Structure 1
């Protein structure tokens, strides 16, 4: 099976001091695309801080609070990823221990969560949240993170 293309993946390391390895992020995105049998048209993955994510949350969603990840779809074509994901690395740094995860594992969970949203998954009910969490675990494991 041919590996999913990642040329359309733009990784923006916008946090002033925290980073994740680009190669790991590419591997993670590939694992989700392969597992979901999805095609990547374009993805901007922005790793940033509390202030940026909160401002985006307030401006575009009307929510004036911190959140771990925001996804903005640019297309709703089934099986195609086209959009933007903003990951709050500060939240991952603050909360990873409470989940028994490393900083990298927690931040990568946010990446997978954002990708799943772009693929049409939601977490509006306890059942849907549990399903997304199981998928997150599957893809983190596929990328060698669990």
Structure 2
């Protein structure tokens, strides 16, 4: 079932910071869902830092804005994979820091969120989600993903490449109530 939407490095200009069209993002969502092998409807909400902070506080107990939240759907007769919420102001800041377009950053965030909907969790695995994200990003011609960025910044400050909280093996069972970032 195709997803639906609501709401290469180059110099950053105002034109590169425009929100991509719904057809452009819907096309990417279908392509990324196929690459992730995630079946079912996915709804993507493009929102504000204030709204995503509220969702993050309500569902994860973290009172801060974030770039993407994933809401896996409860399993039922209708095939719905879940919902993603993406903060446009955060995505815009991250795209400027990385000197690529807002469109590219939103696509990176969609891919990351889809992997969470598929059951991957970088907070508890031993790098499986990061490896899978890297492989798919390469196929979709996207720059560094969220996990890889985090790992690079930790390496720069001589921190361990994987947080001590990483344990377990890869994908966790679908957790309908579990929101992930």
> Shorter-chain-normalised TM-score: which range?
0.7 to 0.9
Structure 1: runs of 5+ lacking an equivalent: none
The Cα of 1:33 is off from its aligned counterpart by: 2.3
- Is the CA contact 2:115–2:129 (under 8 Å) kept in the aligned structure 1? no
The Cα of 1:83 is off from its aligned counterpart by: 0.8
| CA distances 1:79-116 after superposition (whole Å, capped 9, x unpaired) | x7511100011011111132232111011111111111
- What is the CA–CA distance in structure 2 between the aligned matches of 1:112 and 1:36, rounded to whole Å? 8
- What is the CA–CA distance in structure 2 between the aligned matches of 1:38 and 1:81, rounded to whole Å? 10
| CA distances 1:31-71 after superposition (whole Å, capped 9, x unpaired) | 1222233322x222100110010000001110011110000
Which has the larger strand fraction? Answer: 1
Secondary structure (helix, strand or coil) at the match of 1:39 reads: coil
- Is the CA contact 2:115–2:133 (under 8 Å) kept in the aligned structure 1? no
Counterpart position of 1:101? 100
The Cα of 1:135 is off from its aligned counterpart by: 4.1
Larger Cα-atom Rg: 2
Aligned residues: 130
Matches within 5 A, 1:111-122: 111-122=110-121
Segment drifting more, 28-37 vs 124-133: 124-133
Over the residues paired in the alignment, what is the CA RMSD in angstroms?
2.4
Structure 2 CA distance for partners of 1:49 and 1:132, relative to 1, 3 Å:
farther
Structure 2 CA distance for partners of 1:107 and 1:12, relative to 1, 3 Å:
same
- What is the CA–CA distance in structure 1 between the aligned matches of 2:110 and 2:36, rounded to whole Å? 15
Structure 2: runs of 5+ lacking an equivalent: 8-17, 144-181
Counterpart position of 1:30? 30
Counterpart position of 2:47? 48
TM-score by structure 2 length?
0.62
